[in-house]
Amino acid sequence: MKNKHLKKLTVCLTIILLMFCFAGCADKNKNNGDQSLQKVLDAGQLVLGLDENYPPMGFRDESGEIVGFDIDMAQEVCNRLGIDLVKQPIEWDKKEDELNSGNIDCIWNGMSVSPERSASLCLSRSYLRSELVFVVMADSGIEDVQQIKGKKVGVQAGSTTEDELKDSTLMPDITIVKYGDNKELMQELEEGKIDVAFIDSISTYYYSSMTDERLSILPTVFSREELAIGFRRDDHALRDKIQEIIYEMNEDGTVKRISEKWFGKDITIIK
C-alpha cells in the first residue's frame, strides 16, 4: 500500500517538474523571439529613414517640414499604432548601414525592390510600381536611347538606377555622373551640366509638374520596378504589423486618399 502511494507521489512530482520545464522553455522561446514590434511600441516611436530630397515620396517643403506620400502613409500607420513618427534623413547610399546599426527602424522612402535587397532585408509587400526612364530636356535633340552614347548620364548614388545602368550594354559608351539625390540630379539636367537623367517615372512626373522647363522622356522604358518598405532582416513582427495596418488603410480608402493627394489618382498596387 505504501509503495502504491509512493508511486502516485512520484508520478505527481514528475508531472509538476515537466510543467515547470515546459513553462521555462516557453519563456525562453518568448525571450528569444522577435521583439522588433514591442521595441517600437515601448519606445513610443517609429524612426523612419528617408532621403529628404525625393519628391513626392519624402522632401522638405518651403517651411522646412518633411512631407510627401510616404510620410503621410507612415504617419497614418503610427497614428493607428498610437506612437510618434520620427523622420530621420539619411545618406541614401548608406541606408542599410543606418538600419542595421539601429539608428532607424525602417527604410520607407520609395525604396526599390531588388534581389539583393530581398536577400539582405525584410521587405514589405510592394505598394507602388515605377519605371526607370531616361529623361532629357525637350530641346536637347536626343530622341532615342541610342543617341545617349557618348553623353553624360546622371543617376542617384546608391540607387537601383545606378546598378541597372552599370549592368547595361550602354555602360562602355556613356559617362555616369553620380548625385546625392534626385533633386540635385534634375537641377543639373536643367542647367545643362549633364545630358541625360536616369530616374524613376514617379519622380519624373512630379518634376515635370513643378518646373517651367520642358522635359522629355525617351520612348524606351529601361526597366520596371516596385517599391517596398525595408526592415532589418529579422524584424518580421514589426514588418507584419505595419503591413497589416496598410491593408486596413487600403480597405477603408485611406491609401486612395493619400495617393490622390500626391499623384492626382490612386496609383498604388496594394493587394
Q: What is the pLDDT of residue 6?
A: 41
| pTM, 2 dp | 0.71
| Domain 131-225 coded CATH 3.40.190.80 | no
What is the predicted pLDDT for the residue at 271?
85
The SS3 of residue 38 is helix
Start-end ranges of CATH 3.40.190.10 in the chain?
36-128+226-263, 131-225
CATH (residue range 36-128+226-263): 3.40.190.10
Low-confidence ranges of the chain (pLDDT < 50): 1-31
- Cβ contact 260:266 at 8 Å: yes
Whole-number pLDDT of residue 31: 37
pLDDT at 148: 94
Contact 35, 100 (CB under 8 A): no
End-to-end CA distance of the chain: 69
Closest to 147 in 3D by CA, of 200, 213, 202, 219: 219
- Alpha-carbon distance values, 23 to 16, 26, 31, 32, 120 (Å): 11, 5, 12, 14, 34
